[in-house]
Amino acid sequence: MPDIFYVLLRRMRTPLIVLIVMYSVAVLGFTLIPGQDAEGQPWHMSFFHALYVVSYTASTIGFGEIPYAFTETQRLWMMFVIHLTVIGWLYSIGSLLAVLQDPAFRRLRTEYVFQRSVKRLRTPFYLVCGYGDTGGILVKALADEGIKAVVIDRDENRLNELELNDYIRRPLGLLADAAKPAVLEMAGITNSYCIGVIALTDSDQTNVMVALSAHLLNPNIRVLARVESAEAGANIRSFGKNEVINPFETFAGRLAMAIHSPGMYTLFTWMTGVPHEPLREPLFPDRGLWVICGFGRFGKALHRHLEAAGIPMQVIDPDPVASQAPTGAIIGSGVEAVTLQQAGVKQAVGVIAGTNDDVSNLSILMTARELRPDLFMVARQNQRDNSLVFDRADIDLLMKRGDVIAHKIFALLRTPLISDFLDAARERDDDWANQMVSRILGVVSEEVPYLWEIKINKVRTPALYKACLMGQVQLRDLLRDPRERVKSLPAIPLLLKRDGKVMVLPELDKPLDVSDRLLMCAAWPVSHEMQWATQNENVLHYLLTGDEVSGGSLLRRYVMKGMK
């Protein structure tokens, strides 16, 4: 990027030369034109005195005729100088305003300010490429967690939206193409505080380029990318330790899970929720015939996952041959009642409107509801501007690509222990998941559970680390209430990871050890009470022994006050 001050001086070269020439002529004139002193003797101004007179005259201060009254010739020259300097300054100021308003210079100035802001960052941040539906949800979730984000997007309207949103931790935004490596470097991809790159643009090609650039410019950085084609996903996975999220595959897998394991689906939905998101009601779709309208990328993913789950389906597509739909697919779009009837909608338990057109999807659902009001309805929403009508359509399950990707990425970013827990949960049955859902309902109210990691080390949990070295801490001690230790905090230890081994729902009498990592689940305020105990020796000593050491009583009252 060119130096902004050099560019400014280059653009202002002519006005500056005009000012210098103008002042030189004015000063020279005053030194050559003779005046008279108080005794009527000839007197000539020095160059310094002439410059002084021209300076206060050109700046409109007007100290008058000093040190002696001017002669007629000097006054005539003074009138010339006044008009000359006014014209010169008007020209120069006008030129400066024109430069400042020039779109190219404004963009250069914005990039200069952005680059300086990124260099000044001294806290970990994520570089987010793309601020659409997904980017908006993700940046807000990161801000709520106290994590900074640097955003790149090509759409000026989206950057304006970013500026207007009131985030707890204000992200930095740049209007640029994330596919250019120089832009990524400007946004801090090589900065030591950049902890990850998240590629969320609408283009798979751009997301692949972002992943490639990250791999070459900063090989150790974590990359998460959104893709909608299998080829792009395989490409990104072929180098580095990148993570790829395909919204169609993710949602199709979740829908299949909702049908054959509704409890597990509810558990996964809550575990991957973003902070302060309302708790969703459990879904109980029936097993039976499902009608899929549209056999594009989404329809294919649905067919693959439902077929693997042993769920019967009937596909409707306008061109089954071109879309490679399965044998027996009905030709049509699904918006006509006759097509849905041919697909067996009256015997079906659910219908999925999965085309890439919102009008068609809404029409399919309205038609199906006329034929079978009790059908379980699933729809794909393609444009977020249509949210109002989709929300009013009383759809059982809505697939928004932005939501699907944002929730999955946020779960991966928050702590890797969530993935460990969900992987372990997949190996359990639906009854176990239902029990987990019931336990979680006992510790939360109207929002999704807040998940956080307790990593026992010197820096993050100094008090707990010291106590663990002496072998004094059991897991149940962490769950004691700092206000009254005989009571327990409403929290669930979901997972304990020690030396690479994972223990799901560890026993409460389990002794804790240094380097242990715990995944906790509770309402958001409870996390602060527990984290306080892990960092403060007085609070932890009270929890372990019931004795209040010096300052402990005051501290506990402070904690109680803060919790009210």
Q: What is the torsional sign of CA 31, 36, 37, 42?
A: positive
The pLDDT of residue 52: 92
Residue 266 region by backbone torsions, left for phi larger than 0, else alpha for psi between -120 and 50, else beta: alpha
For 444, residues 6+ apart whose C-beta sits below 8 A from its C-beta are: 279, 450, 522, 523
- pLDDT score recorded for residue 536: 87
CA distance 294 to 317: 5
* Structure confidence at residue 556 (pLDDT): 52
Residue keyed to tokens 């949990």: 461
Exposure pattern of 400-423 as b/e (b: 16+ CB <10 Å)? bbbbbbbbbbbbbbbbebbebbbe
Could you tell me if residue 172 is left (phi over 0), alpha (psi between -120 and 50 degrees) or otherwise beta? beta
The answer, yes or no, to whether the previous bond of 67 is cis (omega within 30 of 0) is yes
| CB of 373 closer than 8 Å to CB of 350 | no
Beta pairing partners, 331: 317
Label residue 77 exposed, middle or buried (CB < 10 Å: 0-12, 13-18, 19+).
Answer: middle
Candidates 102, 101, 99, 80; CA nearest to 91 is 99
User: Alpha-carbon distance 108 to 116, whole Å?
Assistant: 12
pLDDT score for 553: 52
Is-contact 236 217, C-beta < 8 A? no
Token duo for residue 167: 């985030």
pLDDT per 10-residue tile (average), the chain, 564 residues: 82 93 94 89 91 88 82 92 92 94 89 92 93 89 90 92 86 93 94 94 93 92 90 87 88 88 91 86 88 92 90 92 90 90 92 92 93 92 86 88 84 86 92 93 89 90 90 88 89 93 92 92 88 87 81 51 47
Place of tokens 């960052």: 121
Strand pairing of 313-317 and 243-245? unpaired
Beta strands in 66-219 (DSSP E): 125-129, 148-153, 172-175, 194-199
Bridge-partner residues for 399, per DSSP?
380
User: What's the confidence (pLDDT) of residue 385?
Assistant: 83
Structure tokens at 337: 């009642």
Q: Which residues pair with 175 in a beta bridge?
A: 153
Check: CB of residue 153 under 8 Å from CB of residue 131.
yes
Q: What's CA 518's distance to the chain center, in Å?
A: 25
Angle between helices 401-414 and 133-144 in degrees, nearest 10: 30
- What is the C-alpha separation between 247 and 316, in angstroms, rounded? 21
pLDDT on residue 563 = 47
- Helix or strand run (H / E) with residue 359: helix 358-371
Q: Which helix (H) or strand (E) holds 313?
A: strand 313-317
DSSP 203-245: -HHHHHHHHHHHHHH-TTSEEEEE-SSHHHHHHHHTSTT-EEE
**Tokens (6 digits) for 517:** 């990592």
